[in-house]
Structure 1
Amino acid sequence: MKRTLAGFAGGQSKLLGVTPGDELRYAAMGGVIVSTALVAAASAAMAVHMALGTGVLVAVLIGLAWGLIIFNLDRLLVVQMTRQGSRRLTLMMAIPRLLLAIVLGAVISTPVVLKIFEAEIETQLTVMHARQVAEYNRETAQNPDYASIPELEKTIAADEKVAAGGAGITIEKDPAVVDARNQYDAAQKTFLKAQANVVCEKEGTCGSGAAGAGIAYREKVGIQEEARDTRDEALARLTAARADARAALSTAQTSAADAARTRLTGNRERLTELRDRLEADKAAHAAASKEDTGLLARLEALEEIAGDRPTLQTAHILLFLLFLSLELLPVLMKTLQVLGPETDYEKVAREDGEHRQRLDRERRDHELRTEQDRLRRAADAAIAGNQVVVDTQTEVMTRVLETWQQRAIEQAEEDLRHWVRDSGPVSPPGYAGTHQQNGVPGQRTP
């Protein structure tokens, strides 16, 4: 088991057997890598279950796949970090790996933190949903369509009252009635003033100052009578105006009721439609807000809680640092190792690597020499083969030429014999002159 964990951290079994003192360090590093992968798997399973609402089995499978990815990434970060020629170069190579480990630690720790503070987050989500619904209702009230609902309700109530005969223009607001009532009020005021003057004159408290029914009293009584007649005439005109207005009002109320009933039909339908749309929109928004419980919403809820509760914020930071250090630990251990003195394992690994490189160079040199010798021998064989071909071709051509020459001589002799036979006897040598016999030219003696 220890050798297996050491292998996860990049330790080679053959070399660890030579340096048993370093085996424990590599095994511990491998154990941290495995632990980080397991935490990453659990974190991914919780994140998928919270964000996507998947089943437990699916979340576990996805979590295992993510844990395997983190396991390979951590092994890559650790195994690929080797000692360089200088500490500065080694540190420059370690910094990107440390930054990547920080990113992985943040990704791994977030779902775990959300799960730990799940109860507080659920409560805050309820508050956030209620706030979102209230905000949506305020925005809805400013919508031009929905903002007309209260005014439309008032219009419908007024039309319902008119249609029921309980509202409309009263006779007292008729212009003729108003004018007649003003005249009656003025006449009544004049009559009352004249009546007061009569009483005052009779008592002697005003006017002539003499009590009793004297000349001044009788004059004021006459004025009172005229004022009474004027008032009675104004009252008669007011009564007639009211009668005329009442007759006209009956017709107007009937027309107004008919018009109100006509408006009521359209306005009620419009009000019902607007109310249904408003309730549907509110229900849809409330449902969507209630279902907004994913990873992002939980992060926002956690941020709001942390802002209001410093203790929770401190706990959040500590948990984050805990899981971050878990992810950083193998990379940090490897960084410290390559920055420190060379260990026995590294010395053995370096010597083994140099030995392997030397053997590899010797093997390549041997293969090169073997290949060169093979090529040289192949070239010599090719040259010898070419020479044999040339010699063979030369011999063949020589024999062909000799055969052709022999055949040419034999053919020439054969032609000569035929010619001698066909031409007859030939003159003996030494014969002078030239003659022709049987049509064959003679020969001249030299």
Structure 2
Amino acid sequence: MLKKFFIICSGSDTDILDQCSIGEQNKFAGIGATVFFTAVMAFIACSYALFTVFDNLYAAIGFGFVWALLIFNLDRFIVSTIKKRDNIMDEILQASPRLILAVIIAVVISKPLELKIFEKEINQVLLEQKNDLTLANKTQIAQQFTPNVEALEGHIKALQSQIQTKETEVNALYGTYISEAEGTAGTNLLGKGPVYKEKREKHDAALAELQQLKSDNKAKILVAENQIEQLKTDYDTQVLTSQPVIDGFDGLMARVNALGELSWLPSLFILLLFLAIETSPIFAKLLSPKGEYDYKLEDAETAVKTWVEQKVNERKVLLKTDQILNNKIYNDIAEEDELYTYKRKKARELMQLQADAFFNHQKNAL
């Protein structure tokens, strides 16, 4: 049963092959098995590739099954159309387009399987790329907020600098009126005289200004700090919003590009393996000698070809003979007086009818 199935997969004529030896049947069963298992590998490769795209197992299996049927049909067609010839160059010319198609199919099948085989290495490359993208993304987003944050921080420093300057001024005024009271500076008179009072009032006014400045600048600093916090919150929000896009950077194209960054030698070996699998049925037919099946198939085809050519030639001879007979018959009839008289009479009647019709038409027009 399994042998019969593989023979059907080989695309051979089962009626003819049933009349051949067991060895001949086994040869085509092996070719059919290669075609079948190539389709199975195509199903696995396509399902995995589409699963990385759709993230849906059922959709990937469905499309993979359709793809496997397509590859199976193409391989079966390629193998079944290669026929043994008497000239090896004719066979090579016949197989060359099919070999090119087989190479294309092998490349298409092998690439998704390479992605699966080297999945761990590809994931490592993708992780590094994602980290780089994350850092680059944070840098780009920061460029949108950093100028505003720096401007607000500079404004806060300016406000704090105003307070410090005012505090220095107040401290200086405090030292002045204390020295005046102690008699160590100013008038050098011990006690709280008019000069002391003047300097004390000046200090108290500056102190009041300092208190008011602290109050005003503290409110301004609080507003600026709230703005900075809001900018930082917006920055974090934008980073979190864009991060899923980077986390999802593991689609089919990203994996293919990541595979390209790995060593090319293992991928080449896998590609060569699938090239060998895909082209092996073709080379098996090319290299194998002309067998019993090939002779019987050629006999059946040439029988049909001969019968069709015979029918075509018979029709050509029949047409030529009919033309000769018709020419001879019409030549003989042309010499009969009775036929001449009859056609002369009918021609006269026809011309009379034409003359009457023309006359009536002209009369109606006038």
Fold conserved between structures, TM > 0.5: yes
Unaligned segments of structure 1, at least 5 residues: 185-226, 308-312, 399-446
CA distance 1:106–1:238, shift in 2 (3 Å) = farther
The normalised TM-score by structure 1 is 0.60
2:165 corresponds to 1:169? yes
Cα separation, 2, equivalents of 1:37 and 1:229: 106
2:39 corresponds to 1:41? no
Does the aligned pair in 2 maintain the 1:168–1:256 contact within 8 Å?
A: no
CA distance 1:243–1:322, shift in 2 (3 Å) = farther
Q: Residue by residue, what CA displacement relative to the aligned partner does 1:336-358 show, whole Å, maximum 9, x if unpaired?
A: 34xxx433433443444444333
User: Within 5 A, what are the aligned runs for 1:98-177?
Assistant: 98-118=99-119, 121-122=122-123, 125-141=126-142, 143-150=143-150, 152-153=152-153, 155-156=155-156, 167-173=163-169
Unaligned segments of structure 2, at least 5 residues: 349-366
CA distance 1:234–1:282, shift in 2 (3 Å) = farther
CA distance 1:26–1:391, shift in 2 (3 Å) = farther
Does the aligned pair in 2 maintain the 1:169–1:249 contact within 8 Å?
A: no
State, as a whole percentage, how many aligned pairs show the same letter: 21
User: Within 5 A, what are the aligned runs for 1:290-301?
Assistant: 290-301=247-258
- What's 1:364 paired with? 312
Shift of 1:365: 0.6
User: Within 5 A, what are the aligned runs for 1:327-366?
Assistant: 327-337=278-288, 341-366=289-314
1:35 partner amino acid:
F
The normalised TM-score by structure 2 is 0.71
Shift of 1:61: 1.8
Shift of 1:283: 1.2
CA distance 1:139–1:3, shift in 2 (3 Å) = same
CA distance 1:145–1:238, shift in 2 (3 Å) = farther
Cα separation, 1, equivalents of 2:185 and 2:125: 84
Does the aligned pair in 2 maintain the 1:171–1:177 contact within 8 Å?
A: no
CA distance 1:102–1:156, shift in 2 (3 Å) = farther
Number of aligned pairs? Answer: 338
- What's 2:7 paired with? 6
Q: Residue by residue, what CA displacement relative to the aligned partner does 1:19-59 show, whole Å, maximum 9, x if unpaired?
A: 434332222112211111122122212211121223x3322
1:392 is paired with a residue whose SS is helix
- What's 1:247 paired with? 205
Cα separation, 1, equivalents of 2:83 and 2:340: 63
1:232 is paired with a residue whose SS is coil
CA distance 1:391–1:34, shift in 2 (3 Å) = farther
Cα separation, 1, equivalents of 2:209 and 2:219: 16
Residue number among 378, 381, 392 corresponding to 2:342 in the alignment: 392
User: Within 5 A, what are the aligned runs for 1:145-294?
Assistant: 145-150=145-150, 152-153=152-153, 155-156=155-156, 167-173=163-169, 232=188, 243-251=201-209, 254=212, 257-258=215-216, 261=219, 264-265=222-223, 267=224, 270-271=227-228, 273-294=230-251
CA distance 1:171–1:26, shift in 2 (3 Å) = closer
Shift of 1:73: 1.9
1:68 partner amino acid:
L
CA distance 1:249–1:331, shift in 2 (3 Å) = farther
2:138 partner amino acid:
N
Shift of 1:70: 0.8
- What's 1:431 paired with? none
Shift of 1:391: 4.0
Highest CA radius of gyration, 1 or 2?
1
Shift of 1:253: 5.0
